[in-house]
Amino acid sequence: ATLFLATACDEEDYRNPSQIVGEYISEHKELLTSSELGWRFDYSPDDSQYGVYTFLMKFHENGRVTMLTDKNFFYLYANEDDLQKPYVPQESDYTIQQSEAPVLTFATYNLITKLADPELNVPGYGWNGENDFIIMGHSETGDTIYLKSLKAQQRCFMVKNTVEWDTYFDGVNNMIETFEAGNSFFRDIEVEGCNPVVMTDFNMTTRMGVVYQQIDGKIKTDLCRFRFTQDEIRLENPLY
């Protein structure tokens, strides 16, 4: 995919830097708000500790964003009142502003900012999530936006969504329910073209598990990140 980035002026470009940045910000806001079904944002706050959390987001021209995630994460750490909250998209503010580069900020609390909440998960840290993302560019077709978290420099991306939200999350939530319904300690997983896999200690809060594979008569052990799609569980680490 081609990556489009803001570049310095050439000798035929007499616009001042602030004008170039302003046009770059406007271009990406227009791109963000142009998708009728919004964007799928796959985000891992820290590859060494967490798997991937998926959000569907719809950006509006008035600076508001609507988003939804799977039921498991939606209600995670919910208090008694929050457990009564209907499972529907949540709305909050977003901005695109210039720092060292254009930055997309989730400016008020919503489902993705939960990953940065220091009162949840690990006290003082949350999931090491962030609310600010540098806009690195987009694909030539405009169907992928490349991002990087501002502090940790964790690379992530948004993909233009093409599925109705209800359809997508019905599939995701069914996958999670099926995955949780069986033995909570280990799973035998068949992966085409790979050695047999046993996955243990999978954790729905961290989206991490321990994977065992027998390779050349020896047992190889790895931590494995995973995420759910509407029709599969996807392992994010390479297998052998």
> Which DSSP helix (H) or strand (E) runs through 189?
strand 186-189
Q: List, as one string, the DSSP characters of 206-230.
A: TTEEEEEEEETTEEEEEEEEEEE-S
Give the residue among 128, 127, 157 at the shortest CA–CA distance from 41: 157
Residues 37-52, mean pLDDT to the nearest whole number: 95
Are 176 and 74 in contact by the 8 Å Cβ rule? The answer is no
- Average pLDDT, stretch 71-76? 95
Distance CA 99, CA 150 (A): 10
Give, in order, the Cα–Cα distances in Å from 55 to each of 27, 111, 194, 196, 231: 23, 8, 29, 31, 16
Residue among 105, 106, 112 at smallest CA distance from 89: 112
Q: What is the DSSP letter of 142?
A: S
Residue 22: pLDDT band by 50, 70, 90 thresholds? confident
Helix (H, G, I), strand (E, B) or coil at 123: coil
Q: What are phi and psi of 136, to 5 degrees?
A: -85, -25
Question: Can you say whether residue 56 is alpha, beta or left, with left for phi > 0 and alpha for psi between -120 and 50 degrees?
Answer: beta
* Residue 73: CB atoms within 10 Å: 20
pTM of the model: 0.85
CB 39 within 8 A of CB 182: no
Q: Which of 41-45, 56-60, 155-159, 178-182 has the lowest mean pLDDT?
A: 178-182
- Give the pLDDT score at 213: 79
